[in-house]
Amino acid sequence: MDDVTEPGFNRTGAQSSPLSVHSMQLYADERVPEEVSAPDEMPDGREIAAVRCDYAVEAERIGSVPMPGVLTSAFTAALSKLGARKPEVLVDKLGERLAFERIGVRLYQALIDKASALATQQRMPFSVDDLQRLRDDELAHMHVLASALDSLGADSTAQTPAAAVSALAISGLMQVLTDPRTTLVHCLEAMLIAELADNASWDLLISLTAEADQDQFLPQFHSARDSEKAHVRQIRGWLQTVVLGEAS
């Protein structure tokens, strides 16, 4: 497969069948439902919003944060300082980052597989070794987070609600990376989405950890965030190089 963007016979637009589309538009215009939206409204309708609102009000939550029967002394001491604050928020977010870093390992592995396949066909602004280093960083971060959860007495193997939801959000990225038809550009764009979210989430986790007086984790968390910032720079730079190179 050529890893390039090419012109061709894309059939999805109106211009590919202008007479048919003109006729379709006239027919649809004749049969407009009576409850059509006012011109100044978003056209998707009030009824959809009403259903979503009803369900959102009545819904039960995705799930709960598993808390240990007995928290470790480090955590209980901090809890006493936290007063009414909820330790489950920190555990939930630690679980989320752990799940994200773990899927990050698998995302980078998929990118490595793709890059290895394309390496013989095109010049790339990075080597497979570069990607392996990024993958290994994700693995190291995952272990930092698992250790943090374990040291708090929480269960690092549980899926927290935030972890479940972030897995849902990221599932499309894995589809992009593992599709044999996607190009390097598609894959780098997917990785950029993941890394940007990861960066922002590390910032938030660091703030939350500091708030919860869990300072023992902060040096490793700062180091992980710095490394994620470097990942964003690298991915962004590679993406720019590949896209501009292809366009020129």
Partner 1 sequence: MDLLENKGVPIDKQSLTWKDMAGKPISKLDDEAFTRVRIILMNALELDALRLSHVGARMNGELRQSLAEIRRVEQHQATAVNGLLSADHSPLETTIAYEQVAVEVTAAVAQREPDPYLAQVYRFGLLEDFDHLYRYSALLDRLEGKDSNNILQGHTDIAPGRPTVDGHRAPVDDLRLPYGRDANFLTKLHATLITAAECQTHDYYMTIGPMFADPVARQLYAEIASVEEQHMTQYGSLLDPRQSFLELWLLHEATEVYGYYSCARSESNPRIREMWERFCDYELGHLHHVCGLFRQYEKRDPAEVLARTLPAPLEFKSQRDFVRDVLAAEVDLRANGVDFVKLARESPVSREYRRRINADGSPSTRVATAYHWTSGTELNRSLKAA
Give the footprint of partner 1 on this chain (CB under 8 A).
58-64, 99, 102-106, 110, 139, 142-143, 146-147, 156-161, 164-165, 167-168, 171, 174-176, 178-180, 182
Q: Which long-range contacts (CB under 8 A, 24 or more apart) does 8-14 make?
A: none
Q: Which C-beta is closer to partner 1: that of 99 or that of 235? A: 99
Distance, in Å, from the CA atom of 228 to the CA atom of 199, rounded to the nearest integer, reads: 6
CB of 32 to partner 1, least distance (A): 25
Cα–Cα distance between 177 and 188 in angstroms, integer?
9
Task: Evaluate whether 201 touches 96 at the Cβ level (below 8 Å).
Answer: yes
Element (H, E) at 116: helix 87-118
Closest distance of CB 59 from partner 1, Å: 7
CB of residue 55 to partner 1, shortest distance in Å: 9
Instruction: Give the residue with the Cβ less far from partner 1, 66 or 125.
Output: 66
* Residue 63 or 125 having the CB closest to partner 1: 63
Structure tokens at 35: 């409850």
In the chain, the DSSP E strands lie at: none
Nearer to partner 1, 54 or 215 (CB): 54
Shortest CB 188 distance to partner 1, Å: 16
Nearer to partner 1, 78 or 188 (CB): 188
Residue 219 CA to its chain's centroid (Å): 24
> Which residues, including other chains, have CB under 8 Å from residue 34's CB and lie 6 or more apart?
none
Residue 19 Cβ vs partner 1, minimum distance, rounded to whole Å: 33
